[in-house]
Copies of this chain bind each other. A is one copy, B any other.
Amino acid sequence: MADDKKLTTRAEDFSAWYNEVVLRAELADYSPVKGSMVIRPNGYGIWERMQRALDDMFKATGHQNAYFPLFIPESFLKKEAQHVEGFAPECAVVTHGGGKELEEPLIVRPTSETIIYHMYAKWVQSYRDLPILMNQWANVVRWEMRTRLFLRTLEFLWQEGHTAHATHDEAEAEALTILKVYRTFAEEWMAMPVLTGLKSDSERFAGALRTYCIEAMMQDRKALQAGTSHNLGQNFAKAFDLKFQTESGEMAHAWNTSWGVSTRLIGGLVMTHGDDNGLVVPPKLAPTEVVIVPIWKADEERVRMTEAAMQLKAELVDWTGRGATDRLRVHVDARQGIKPGAKYYEWELRGVPLRLELGPKDLEKQSVFSARRDTKAKAPIARAGVAESVAKLLETIQHDMFAAAKARREAASVRGVKSYDEFKEIMAGEGAFVYAGWNGDPASEAKVKEETKATIRVIPDAEFRSPTAPSTCLVTGQPAKHEVVWAKAY
């Protein structure tokens, strides 16, 4: 597995550190098709846990899964004007099938609004058929020139929800319900704090009325758009003739939402929590929460300690204190020919939240020795009630990881910037989330992007706004229309 060369540190080169962690923790690998990646079992295991958690939340809010085709007729993409403008440059095009040139080229879906609303138009006749609340787990393709493992790849895995409603207000409520689901997932599962709010027009989804987002700060102070939820208005309903008979007998266009998160979240997890020893996975998303390393010197000790480790594992796994469906996920590393230190190094690189060491002396003292991945704190745990202690410690780790990430974000957030020059200095230096007034004009936004590479990440929800709203626009000095958060972004 991983070679022994030290990781580049985050301070040396954050970008190189990121790539090394992803590759050496065996989360993913480059593929022979430029820009495409292979998600290896260590990475896919995290994705599976993400999927399960999100899927449960989608179902709890009334959504059902379905599956729509990979290929979309080229003519469909063109039906919604903004949509085609946004996506056409990124499309992969199938021109040949079964040895023949196709009459109409097929687009490999970059997102599925067009084909899904075409189908909804077929299924919906009356207000009784609404709402439709569907989601699909699927792969999508966007032809990206500058790719990064997980963050921006030619193909990625995601979920895309698509709903249809009888009224604008219902669609708006749906978009906000999902925004809340995304926030809960980011905070409670990924231990990744996010700002929620609205995107400015220039960052809005191609074809949407309004785009809501969750926006996170990575350790290099750059922003990661981690999830978006769009109120599509009637734009697609009009383009695809998605109409229904209202209760009073008239025909009306439906109102749509769409929303998605992707394997990009795994990149966000790496950059939120990783350290110079490698990955740090929050317990709730860790395929393995606890690794037990039995310690031995002589060979007869090996057998005894391995057995003791297996017994410890059984005790942990059999414990149902977290509920029968949520057992502790435990691995015993009893490999021979590898020193304990090398094992520690490897499991730290892979981000397993908690290590338990079990040597003859621990056995004597009826305890196990624990090492937290996040803080590196080490302490013995009494063997009596060990499962409950371990579960509590994992909860503490989950909690502390969120708190630490939030503290990092707040330490790198700047309010009350006095001048645009000061802002430019910040963005030319370490970067930050800069809270400032904005006049609402796309021109001032474009100017900042041009001059500093920073963009408006979000027009934050009330909860995230400064106690006193900035009165003037940072760029123009004109009266501010909104408080916004500026940052460089992935």
Contact = CB atoms under 8 A, between A and B. Distances in A.
A483 B360 CA distance: 61
B94 A89 contact: no
Contacts of A48: 65
A169 B39 CA distance: 29
Interface stretch (A66-74, A215-223, A467-475): A66-74
A45 B33 contact: no
B66 A115 contact: no
A52 to B, nearest CB: 10
Contacts of A69: 31, 33, 36-38, 155
Contact of A97 (B72, B106, B143, B323): B143
A476 interface: no
Contact of A67 (B44, B72, B108): B44
Interface residues of A, number: 58
Interface in A34-69: 36-41, 44-45, 47-48, 64-69
A91 interface: yes
Given A47-B67, A94-B94, 10 more contacts: A32-B115, A41-B65, A41-B66, A44-B64, A71-B92, A89-B99, A91-B98, A92-B97, A93-B97, A96-B105
Interface of A: 29, 31-33, 36-41, 44-45, 47-48, 64-73, 76, 88-99, 105-106, 108, 115, 118-119, 122-123, 134, 138-139, 141, 143-145, 154-155, 157, 323-325
Q: Give the top 9 A-B pairs by smallest Cβ distance, nearest first.
A: A98-B143, A41-B64, A324-B324, A36-B69, A39-B67, A93-B96, A97-B143, A95-B95, A92-B97
